[in-house]
Structure 1
């Protein structure tokens, strides 16, 4: 039988250690000191043809010139905020103090890579109508990057879920309370996005008391949606 007090202490220690490690990681990358998240992989010279000069967003390989690099990490429980990197620049992170509970979102021009807007949608205390209107205003072709922090389902409606389906999400309809979720898709495309991960809130598998582990993904998303997607 679990001892709740001991479990809480262990969970706090794990989160503190993770916070320390990830904080160093974020600061180091922003300073340009980290070039690979998993640098044990060798780079195939053939892959480098037509690529940028070096990996971005801590990918192990450089993306082709007609692709954008991305890496998205969800929040850790309701303690540590998420992190979103696009085309070599960290757009949102707890270190930058620009993340919040709910859905952290970055909207990018799918052709030139310009970040149009970013922020967080408070899915716990926010206004349902305003959030739905915000999502529906995202223009077709825009790349949308999303990372969960805390809970994202408290005020989520079926209409909101349908908007994400229209961006290529296949997991949004099964997303439940306190689940961890990261996603990258393209507004108005409706074709399935493979940039999506989900960790289910389950007492038998949760890493932290009452919370699942964080989820993270990275890769190369094409400027032109007809181009094949590169996964690193």
Structure 2
């Protein structure tokens, strides 16, 4: 091998070795600046969001109950009800059904008295009537629709819901969406209610209006 060729080979080997040393040095230095435990444990205090009952956007004042109600989404996702951070009814708990889902809560203690679902498409409306008639004075009533709440709705049921403070029970029809919180013995209309009419060319879902969400703070003894 000529001397010039040997020198070029040595120069190439030297260059490669220098590059390798440079890369290893920089990668090692970079890796040392990343301390995994520090990243895992670091939480910026300015982004922490205080926990609220039922995940409300704001905490409730003292002597108020926190609640959140979701209607069902079409005939696919069932409704849910949360009261004072306790999930009363939901698909996960497997205690919701097609039609109207109701929970009765003591207006002073916040304790759940009873809950049930009523099939308003093919069920017997007398079951719902009896349930509403048996609601004790001084209790709160949470209502969430699912799939179809209106086919078996009659004037007696509409009147009973109206007496609980509903403004929309008289309009409730086939596949409408409805969420409501009222009380037995309430003298005025409840401020806690949302309603969405089933309008085929305006529905969010194919055959059903949008899911409704209702949240708020209800004072003790609203009756």
Task: Select the residue among 163, 168, 172 that pairs with 1:166.
Answer: 163
Give the equivalent residue in structure 1 for 2:197.
Answer: 200
> How far is the alpha carbon of 1:146 from its aligned partner?
0.3
Deviations 1:107-129 (A, max 9, x none): 00001001000121111222222
CA distance in 1: counterparts of 2:129 and 2:222, whole angstroms: 25
1:221/1:204 CA distance change after superposition, 3 Å? same
Determine if contact 1:179/1:211 at 8 Å carries over to the other structure.
Answer: yes
Displacement after TM superposition at 1:158 (Å): 0.4
Instruction: Tell me the secondary structure at the aligned position of residue 116 of structure 2.
Output: strand
Matching residue of 1:100: 97
Q: Which runs of 5+ in 2 are unaligned?
A: 1-46
Which has the larger Rg? 2
Secondary structure of 1:174 counterpart? coil
Residue 31 of structure 1 corresponds to which residue in structure 2? none
Tell me the distance in 2 between the aligned counterparts of 1:87 and 1:68: 6
SS at match of 1:161: helix
Name the residue aligned to 2:59. Answer: 62
Counterpart of 1:73 (choices 56, 70, 86) is 70
- Distance in structure 1 (CA, Å) of the matches to 2:128 and 2:70: 22
User: What secondary structure does 1:163 align onto?
Assistant: helix
How far, CA to CA, are the matches of 1:191 and 1:206 in structure 2? 31
SS of the counterpart of 1:220? strand
Question: 1:54 offset after TM fit, Å?
Answer: 4.7
Once superposed, what is the RMSD of the aligned Cα atoms? 1.8
> How far, CA to CA, are the matches of 1:129 and 1:103 in structure 2?
13
With normalisation by structure 1, the TM-score equals 0.73
Match of 1:33 in 2: none
**Displaced runs of 4+ in structure 1, greater than 6 A?**
none
Q: Hey, what's the Cα distance between the residues in 1 that align with 2:67 and 2:154?
A: 28
Deviations 1:193-215 (A, max 9, x none): 01100111112210111111111
Find the partner of 1:191 among 188, 193, 198: 188
Give the Cα–Cα distance (whole angstroms) in 2 for the partners of residues 122 and 141 of structure 1: 26
* Distance (Å, rounded) in 1 between the aligned partners of 2:206 and 2:123: 26
Q: Is contact 2:153–2:173 with CA below 8 Å preserved after alignment?
A: no
